[in-house]
Amino acid sequence: MTTTIIGFPRIGEQRELKYTTEKYFRHEISAKELEAFAKDLRQKHWQLVKEQGIDEIPSNDFSFYDTTLDTSFLLNIVPAELTTIDLSTLDKYFALARGYQGEKGDIKARPMKKWFNTNYHYIVPKIETTTQIKVNGTKIFDEYAEAKALGIETRPVILGPFTLLQISEFSEGVNREQVIQDLIAAYKEIATRLFELGAKDLQIDEPGLVKDLTAKEVAEFQAIYETLLENQSLPVLLQTYFGDVRDAYDTLVALPFEAIGLDFVEGIKNKELVKNNFPADKILYAGVVNGKNIWRNDYAQTLAFIKELAVEQIVLTTSCSLLHVPFTTENESFPAEIKEHFAFAKEKLTELLELNAILNEQGQTYLEANQALFTKERFAKNQALHDRVAQLTEADFTRTPAFEEREISQKAHFNFPVLPTTTIGSFPQTKEVKQTRAKFNRQEITQAEYDQYIADQINDWLTWQKEVGLDVLVHGEFERNDMVEYFGQNLEGYLFSQNGWVQSYGTRGVKPPIIWGDVTRKQAITVKWSSYAQSQTDQFVKGMLTGPVTILNWSFPREDISIKDSTLQIALAIQEEVLDLEKNGIQIIQIDEAALREKLPLRKSDWYSEYLDWAIPAFRLVHSKVQEKTQIHTHMCYSEFTDIIRAIDQMDADVISFEASRSNLAILDELQRQNFKTQVGPGVYDIHSPRVPSVEEITETIQTILTKVPLPKVWVNPDCGLKTRGISETRASLENMTKAVKQIRKEL
């Protein structure tokens, strides 16, 4: 048996690629310097993978921004205006990724979308009637040749045509049939040229195969590859990941691929497909080392699994590209007895080798060491908590009285004017705010000084909110670093890495905290500042929490218990916080679920059964025990829930705010159609841009909302938190927002 990986993190051990690319963006280094740097980095990574002993090394998994964008460029899928603008190829590439505004012209950034069920974002390709698909780039060839010149034989990687079609946006009038023919021709040419350069094989990634596919879609896949593989000298590894290929398996194994790559971590059902039913003349690339999570692989389990597959030719690989995990644990300062449980990208290479050695009957000691690790008690299990989760009943997930009754009594209690106004929670986290927190963390200022600073911020903004006439006030979240980290730090069972960065998009990364053990609340988290703010005013101040599903979805989850149980543990911790806030006089509490959609299964057919059926109750668990008059708000950073409206209503919040301004309020139709019961605050302006919306614009937006949603249901707010904005634009925008509301109220 041999080993390989699907792809390696390109950002570098210390996120060097980010820092260098950003220097280029700031014009501090030249394109030449950036290219030279990238070349060194690629070499370093290839060599690292090689020196670790991995047999087959991928190339073209490097990217300055996004590999999907690389593919679009290679295939000439670029907007017409880009071909005429006087910029270098590299700058055109960045222009499409981030927008370009300058003397040479004006290019809008292409939209980004989440890459399948990950937190990585790709640039959405757009195929227009003018798009002429052809091989127009050299990156994949150059990088293959570059490695070869270093004496490293690599397997070039490219995103496949089927997935490309699936994730692309099409302009009206595009001849899809023609596009497919052009794509096939281009891929054939790429394969031929790689073959001529000496490549031994080509990895074509088709994660699109793990979604629910219709017979027609499977037929399209088949037709594409029948032609693509015809008279092909270069052997092809068809690689899938993020799930199972149940709809396309039979077609897949019948096509003349040399090898098929399957994910056996997320694609549990792949096992049943493969067992006793894998063609003897093909190689199975078995994705058994988790490319998405940071825990050590359980060798005994993996080996038993591989044996059960009973496939003759196997290459051991990761479940997906290692792009989705941090680089190495070497730079972490966890104590050894903690660190030994983690495997980041580099450590996963070792795992592949050790697994391989054991399979080749030369790794008994590895197996023993691994088994010892898995029999160790990592932490003292909180049996009481486990029992509590196991004993939760329907009543724990049900708030009484029912929404309709609460709505009436809350209206009487709060007595807000029509179109109550509020914000989403945060006010600008200025440099000063961040610097003060950093000083406090470095112990350059005392707790008392820091507290005084936060209190002053809160007071300033409370005064301003009252002046401008907002109805429900917020304290502003000045004490928070991040909406998940801040909570994690106050929860037992959480760990934080120092360098565990994962690429999110372009040069941006996230550093997800790690759920290490059973989660309980160590101490009150938000009570101090929320109740302080409430004590300073007789208007209502909204408490502000992050919800359990979001906390889980933005962390590396445990693998020894289900994510459902982990989420329920977090939900119980946040429930305590909710009840504590209530006890301390907070009557309105917002529980943010910014990442609710994140783990929605890729197959629609699994949405409820595998996810929403427990994720929505987990949210309800958090607020089910509050009093009738306590008003629960929630917030989501997007409006893409037209397809899960029923589930959103079942969260049973009293009010929900969400982003709508950019999506043309399309969701409103659906709210109307489905008779949405929860009161709604569709964001009336876009906070993602420094632009100040005019009173007229906001008025118009509110009026549009009122044509779809009954007046008593409508709240008015921006579309997200204001922490990334400057102070002056924030104030100007909110002034305009409240002016607009006052006017409309008068007219009503």
Q: Examine residue 426 and tell whether it contacts ligand GLN (CB under 6 A).
A: yes
Q: Which residues contact 22 (CB under 8 A, 6 or more apart)?
A: 507
Residue from the set 97, 158, 424, 571 that interacts with ligand GLN by CB under 6 A: 424
Instruction: Report in angstroms how near the CB of residue 714 gets to ligand GLN at its nearest.
Output: 20
Which two tokens mark 22? 């950003």
Compute the distance between CA of residue 406 and CA of residue 83 in angstroms, rounded to an integer.
Answer: 59
Which two tokens mark 517? 């053990």
Residue 544: which of Zn ion, ligand GLN, none does it interact with, CB under 5 to 8 A by kind? ligand GLN
Q: Are 389 and 565 in contact (CB under 8 A)?
A: yes
Instruction: Report in angstroms how near the CB of residue 633 gets to Zn ion at its nearest.
Output: 12
Residue 426: which of ligand GLN, Zn ion, none does it interact with, CB under 5 to 8 A by kind? ligand GLN
Q: Examine residue 425 and tell whether it contacts ligand GLN (CB under 6 A).
A: yes
Q: Examine residue 210 and tell whether it contacts ligand GLN (CB under 6 A).
A: no
Annotated binding site for 5-methyltetrahydropteroyltri-L-glutamate: 15-18, 114, 554, 598
CA contacts within 13 A on the Cβ side of 178: 12
Compute the distance between CA of residue 317 and CA of residue 351 in angstroms, rounded to an integer.
Answer: 10
Instruction: Report in angstroms how near the CB of residue 460 gets to ligand GLN at its nearest.
Output: 17
Which two tokens mark 135? 């091989």
Closest to Zn ion by CB, 140 vs 636, is 636
Residue 296: which of ligand GLN, Zn ion, none does it interact with, CB under 5 to 8 A by kind? none
CB count within 10 Å of CB 447 equals 9
Residue with tokens 């690319």: 21
Closest to ligand GLN by CB, 477 vs 582, is 477
Q: Examine residue 597 and tell whether it contacts ligand GLN (CB under 6 A).
A: no
Residue from the set 95, 320, 637, 741 that interacts with Zn ion by CB under 5 A: 637
Q: Examine residue 545 and tell whether it contacts Zn ion (CB under 5 A).
A: no
- What beta strand segments (E) does 529-628 contain? 541-546, 588-592
Residue from the set 110, 521, 635, 725 that interacts with ligand GLN by CB under 6 A: 635
- At residue 667's C-alpha, the angle toward residues 665 and 673, to 5°, is 125
Instruction: Report in angstroms how near the CB of residue 631 gets to ligand GLN at its nearest.
Output: 16
Please tell me the chain's helix, strand, coil percentages from 3-state DSSP, rounded to the nearest 5: 45, 15, 40
The runs of H, that is alpha helices, within 26-100 are 31-52, 67-74, 80-84, 89-98
Compute the distance between CA of residue 405 and CA of residue 731 in angstroms, rounded to an integer.
Answer: 36
Instruction: Report in angstroms how near the CB of residue 722 gets to ligand GLN at its nearest.
Output: 7
> 33 phi and psi, to 5 degrees?
-65, -40
Residues 19-34 as b/e (b if ≥16 CB within 10 A, e otherwise) read ebbeebeeeebeeeeb
Instruction: Report in angstroms how near the CB of residue 117 gets to Zn ion at its nearest.
Output: 20
Closest to Zn ion by CB, 514 vs 720, is 720
Compute the distance between CA of residue 703 and CA of residue 505 in angstroms, rounded to an integer.
Answer: 36
Among the listed ranges 80-88, 291-299, 327-335, 635-643, the one in contact with Zn ion (CB under 5 A) is 635-643
3-state SS, 433-496, equals HHHHHHHHHCCCCCHHHHHHHHHHHHHHHHHHHHHHCCCCEECECCCCCCCCHHHHCCEEEEEC
Q: Examine residue 687 and tell whether it contacts ligand GLN (CB under 6 A).
A: no
CB count within 10 Å of CB 595 equals 21
Instruction: Report in angstroms how near the CB of residue 622 gets to ligand GLN at its nearest.
Output: 15
Q: Examine residue 483 and tell whether it contacts ligand GLN (CB under 6 A).
A: yes
Q: Which residues contact 294 (CB under 8 A, 6 or more apart)?
A: 325, 326, 342, 343, 344, 500, 514, 556
Compute the distance between CA of residue 123 and CA of residue 126 in angstroms, rounded to an integer.
Answer: 9
Q: Which residues contact 286 (CB under 8 A, 6 or more apart)?
A: 262, 264, 306, 309, 311, 314, 315, 316, 317
Q: Examine residue 596 and tell whether it contacts Zn ion (CB under 5 A).
A: no
Instruction: Report in angstroms how near the CB of residue 628 gets to Zn ion at its nearest.
Output: 28
Q: Examine residue 184 and tell whether it contacts Zn ion (CB under 5 A).
A: no
Annotated binding site: 15-18, 114, 424-426, 477, 554, 592, 598, 635, 637, 659, 720
Map residues 554-573 to x or -, x wherever contact with ligand GLN holds by CB under 6 A: --------------------
Q: Report the site for Zn ion in 250-279 (rule: CB under 5 A).
A: none
Annotated binding site for L-homocysteine: 424-426, 477, 592
Closest to ligand GLN by CB, 690 vs 712, is 690
Q: Site for Zn ion (CB under 5 A): how many residues?
A: 2
Residues 710-722 as b/e (b if ≥16 CB within 10 A, e otherwise) read eeebbbbbbbbbb
Compute the distance between CA of residue 344 and CA of residue 743 in angstroms, rounded to an integer.
Answer: 56
Q: Examine residue 594 and tell whether it contacts ligand GLN (CB under 6 A).
A: yes
The single residue of 341, 386, 413, 688 carrying the catalytic annotation is: 688
Closest to ligand GLN by CB, 358 vs 473, is 473
Identify whether 475 is a catalytic site residue: no
**How far, CA to CA in Å, does 414 sit from each of 410, 462, 466, 629, 744?**
6, 19, 16, 9, 21
Compute the distance between CA of residue 27 and CA of residue 34 in angstroms, rounded to an integer.
Answer: 11
Closest to ligand GLN by CB, 7 vs 476, is 476
Among the listed ranges 59-67, 281-289, 642-650, 717-725, the one in contact with ligand GLN (CB under 6 A) is 717-725
Q: Examine residue 592 and tell whether it contacts ligand GLN (CB under 6 A).
A: yes
Closest to Zn ion by CB, 225 vs 478, is 478
Residues 458-487 as b/e (b if ≥16 CB within 10 A, e otherwise) read beebbebbeeeebbbbbbbbbbbeebbbeb
Closest to ligand GLN by CB, 398 vs 724, is 724
Closest to ligand GLN by CB, 622 vs 720, is 720
Residue 723: which of ligand GLN, Zn ion, none does it interact with, CB under 5 to 8 A by kind? ligand GLN
- At residue 513's C-alpha, the angle toward residues 508 and 517, to 5°, is 165
Q: Site for ligand GLN (CB under 6 A): how many residues?
A: 13
Instruction: Report in angstroms how near the CB of residue 250 gets to ligand GLN at its nearest.
Output: 43
Which two tokens mark 374? 């898995």
Map residues 508-547 to x or -, x wherever contact with ligand GLN holds by CB under 6 A: ------------------------------------x---
Which two tokens mark 246? 């149940």
CA contacts within 13 A on the Cβ side of 678: 24
Q: Report the site for ligand GLN in 438-477 (rule: CB under 6 A).
A: 477
Instruction: Report in angstroms how near the CB of residue 456 gets to ligand GLN at its nearest.
Output: 20
Map residues 720-739 to x or -, x wherever contact with Zn ion holds by CB under 5 A: x-------------------
Residues in contact with Zn ion by the rule CB under 5 A: 637, 720
Residues in contact with ligand GLN by the rule CB under 6 A: 424-426, 477, 483, 544, 592, 594, 635, 637, 720-721, 723
Q: Which residues are catalytic?
A: 688
